A and B are shown apart, each in its own frame.
Chain A
Amino acid sequence: MESYRMYNSKLAGEYKDAFEKIDVYIGATNIDSASREELMNSLTDTFLSAQEEGKPVEKITGRNIEHFCHEVCSGYGFKEHFIAFFEFFRPMTYIFFILTFVPFFEELEKNSILNYFSYQTSADTILGFITGMIWAYLLDFAANKIIKKVFINKRKVTVYSAALVHVCVLMISLLLLGVVIVLSDCLTPGDDESIWYIPLWTAQVISLGLVIICNAVTHKIKKQNIDSTVDVIDSYYNESFYRSLENIESKRFDKLNTKLAKKGQSLLSEQEFYEKEIKKLKREINPLYYIIIVLIAPFFCIVFGFDGIVDFLIFYGVCIVIEGVVMLAIYLPARKAMLKRLAWLENKLNSSESV
């Protein structure tokens, strides 16, 4: 689905102010991101239509924006809240899954013989994860309550002020957590040993189960979010880059030939230029090109030593995950644009050949 954020910049004056407030309020509401995107698209369309007709914004929203947002969201029920819940926890389940491998690598590092099925691990990881999940959910809930109750009544509200609320709540909670840890250390000194142990495979099955459940529930949304991002960037290409492709390619052709002339080499014909660009582009479209970058790049980042293989694997794993996500976000929209450029170049090549 195309993101409404591409079009809400067309709103002006009272429409812009009202829309920003609604955007912040709906963003702080516990409904899944796909439903939220759909709702905001509908509202953007309505606002743009009403603005075009010169209606006052109050004709659409009434006098109370908070009441309007509350009414709009009243159509959503258990299903949307349920999906939003899993959507919230999905990134955390990946972290949990990775963490369950840490004790496994620690044992390997000690060179001890490990019987995977009988190996017991501290249940602290699971308990910590569950506590962390509840803690994060409560924080998000508190921040959203503040945004909806306090900020919505301010004259001007932006998404940045809403983000600031989340950061402040997080800081306060970390401070509180620090106080709790210091107090518990003072009350029970030297009591660091875990009292609960469970088989490692159980912890991994639980974490993997959580990853699968969260992904299954949010599968449709994940796809829609990627499509939405692709659409936004694709549209950028369509509107600003792709429209002037002829101009850009002609400049590129001139630049390349100027370079060749300076070197004293023979100049490229248009046909040769298109062939060269097509060959280069086909190589860049191949996903393997990006996968190799993702796998190799972290090695170039190693500028300090590691205490052991566990530290190295954690560092390398985190690097690959971060880089993988960034590269995927670049690759998906870029591939669409590259395919369009390829089609254009092939079309040009065919027409130059026929001439």
Chain B
Amino acid sequence: MDDSQLLKGVLEGCVLGVIVKGETYGYEILSVLENAGFENLLEGTLYPVLTRLEKKGLISCRKAKSPFGPVRKYYSITESGQEYFDNFKASYERITTASGKILNGDITEGDKRNDGKL
């Protein structure tokens, strides 16, 4: 199954989740996500996400020389980014709980009668 649509939905939040832990840079974010299980994630997918987050003002960047020489962008979370991340986490938990119930077949009679609201 092509999981790119699912990935698109959560990637911004996950990238913010890495940056929220402390100042970091592109390759490190890629490695953290890869080690966490996003095995097929490429730099090509990550870079536009970082650009979008920066444009939205959710992350800020500082430029410094990397140990290899070229200029490296170090990202850190902004105040609005922190707020966005908290909201994202709350929404994500609500959606995963709800979808978990459906996918695992845990719907009770009470859920069915609750005006369709899960």
A residues in contact (CB < 8 Å) with B: 1-2, 4, 6-7, 10, 38-39, 41-46, 48-50, 52, 59-62, 67-76
Stretch in B16-24, B45-53, B108-116 with 4+ CB within 8 Å of A: B45-53
A257 to chain B, nearest CB (A): 39
CA distance A145 to B72 in the complex (A): 30
Residues of B within 8 A of A76 (CB): 51
A21 to chain B, nearest CB (A): 13
Residues of B within 8 A of A74 (CB): 48
Beyond contacts A45-B25, A50-B27, A59-B42: 5 other A-B pairs, Cβ-Cβ < 8 A, are A1-B63, A4-B70, A10-B68, A48-B70, A72-B47
**A7-B69 contact given A1-B63, A75-B52, CB 8 Å threshold:** yes
B105 at the binding interface (Cβ < 8 Å):
no
- Establish whether residues A72 and B69, one from each chain, have CB atoms under 8 Å apart when the complex forms: no
- Establish whether residues B26 and A46, one from each chain, have CB atoms under 8 Å apart when the complex forms: yes
B37 at the binding interface (Cβ < 8 Å):
no
- Establish whether residues B27 and A61, one from each chain, have CB atoms under 8 Å apart when the complex forms: no
- Establish whether residues A42 and B47, one from each chain, have CB atoms under 8 Å apart when the complex forms: yes
Interface hub of A52, A74, A76 (most chain B Cβ within 10 A): A74
- Establish whether residues B52 and A10, one from each chain, have CB atoms under 8 Å apart when the complex forms: no
**A61-B68 contact given A39-B47, A75-B49, CB 8 Å threshold:** no
- Establish whether residues A2 and B52, one from each chain, have CB atoms under 8 Å apart when the complex forms: no
- Establish whether residues A72 and B48, one from each chain, have CB atoms under 8 Å apart when the complex forms: yes
Can you name 6 A-B pairs with beta carbons within 8 Å? A1-B63, A1-B71, A7-B68, A61-B44, A74-B48, A75-B51
